[in-house]
Amino acid sequence: MEKMFCLGIVLGMVGGALLVANSYKARSLVKKSQAEVIQKMDEMMDERLKAMGDCGSEEGCKADKKKKEK
């Protein structure tokens, strides 16, 4: 059962790669999606770094915790 599942996953990945390699629309869709994911990850990291920077003092951390509790 596990072997068939793994084989199915591998064949699906190979089939998807062939589809994307041979289709301009699929390739452009993948590139667009990758760009969106990268942009969202950058925004999330910027927010986290900003939150960590605000938490440089104990007063900043306490203020953040009070905001989250409300």
**How many Å apart are CA 32 and CA 12, to the nearest integer?**
21
For the whole model, what pTM was predicted?
A: 0.51
How is 2-70 classified by DSSP, letter by letter? HHHHHHHHHHHHHHHHHHHHH-HHHHHHHHHHHHHHHHHHHHHHHHHHHHHHHTTSHHHHHHHHHHHH-
Write out pLDDT tens, residues 9-42: 999 999 988 988 888 888 898 899 999 999 999 9
Rg of the chain over all Cα atoms, to the nearest angstrom: 22
**How many Å apart are CA 41 and CA 48, to the nearest integer?**
10
